[in-house]
Structure 1
């Protein structure tokens, strides 16, 4: 089952143009997620998806998977691996509503750690997702500093997982053919 499972990792909105999702970086990332998820389903045979439930990429990826499952009718599943129950407590109300909507529509919800905030629980959650996946889809700007996404990418490399990297720095790149 692991070989046909994809997990997502990626930056929070503050590293993707801000919390207004109409910005060009967020639009680019969502378009790339849509295309890569569809390709993985149609050409890679992936059927199980795992999202971490955080703001930004986790939310956008989960919504794309739910779109393909619920609106397009593809036979796929979405699991939410939350670091702990209540991760959304300090979020804005709109973000909470979105999170709960995703949770309600998931095929499975896993709280990886006991309730209560601790930064290390995000790392435990990320490792659990990678351990369950054959492919990691990362929206990552290449930063290996204190980025949770960077740590997850490094762990996925160590575990020899296949990866698709969507680099948000290329949001305004153009390619000329011919």
Structure 2
């Protein structure tokens, strides 16, 4: 796998409204573990659409890992021009800094938002351009990642297209591991 699409829930779908929320730390740690493994297997590109939440956190992790693995590249393929127009100013600034650091940035429909079909086109285009997808997803919780899951499953029916996931169970295990590690590092009284 050379090109990996990454998506998942928007921050508000996870009940996360503060970038310092503890959940973000665990999600980024889970993403980092996956990315390190994929990089060791030859990953060259990570593609996101720039959606707030898991995709932006994935971009932050990739940009951090580029210091160690400069060969890994980040592509941001937005569904339409100026997707950040209605975001808070602080969020826009952070998003724009990610775009500036990305290796490739483009908009799929080359025009501002005018209909929901642009979002479907974005999902299908990114699936088409990638060799696999990583989704932070809960099969029981409908939301953003499910719009990628359907075209990914469709592609997987006819081509070798792995669908990797990070589930709530995976995050629970990670949290337990981190907590155990912390306890092991506590000074003995």
Per the normalisation by structure 2, the TM-score is 0.82
1:29 paired residue number: 27
2:186 paired residue number: none
The structure with the greater share of residues assigned to strand is 1
Alpha carbons 1:17, 1:24 under 8 Å: kept: no
CA RMSD after TM alignment: 1.9
CA distance in 1, matches of 2:83, 2:44: 26
Aligned partner (choices 36, 39, 57) of residue 37 of structure 2: 39
SS of the residue corresponding to residue 141 of structure 1 reads: coil
1:50 paired residue number: 47
2:12 paired residue number: 14
CA distance in 1, matches of 2:34, 2:22: 18
1:167 paired residue number: 167
2:90 paired residue number: 94
Distance 1:94 1:169, change over 3 A: farther
User: In the TM superposition, what whole-angstrom CA distance separates every residue of 1:129-178 from its partner, at most 9, and x where no partner exists?
Assistant: 11111110101121474x331021121111012021011465344479xx
Alpha carbons 2:30, 2:171 under 8 Å: kept: no
Greater CA radius of gyration, 1 or 2?
2
Runs of 4+ in structure 1 deviating by more than 4 angstroms, as ranges, are none
Per the normalisation by structure 1, the TM-score is 0.87
Does residue 66 in structure 1 map to residue 63 in structure 2?
yes
User: In the TM superposition, what whole-angstrom CA distance separates every residue of 1:57-112 from its partner, at most 9, and x where no partner exists?
Assistant: 1101111111111x224311111100111000000111111111111111111200
Specify every segment of 5 or more residues in structure 1 that has no aligned partner in the other structure, as ranges.
none
SS of the residue corresponding to residue 108 of structure 2 reads: strand
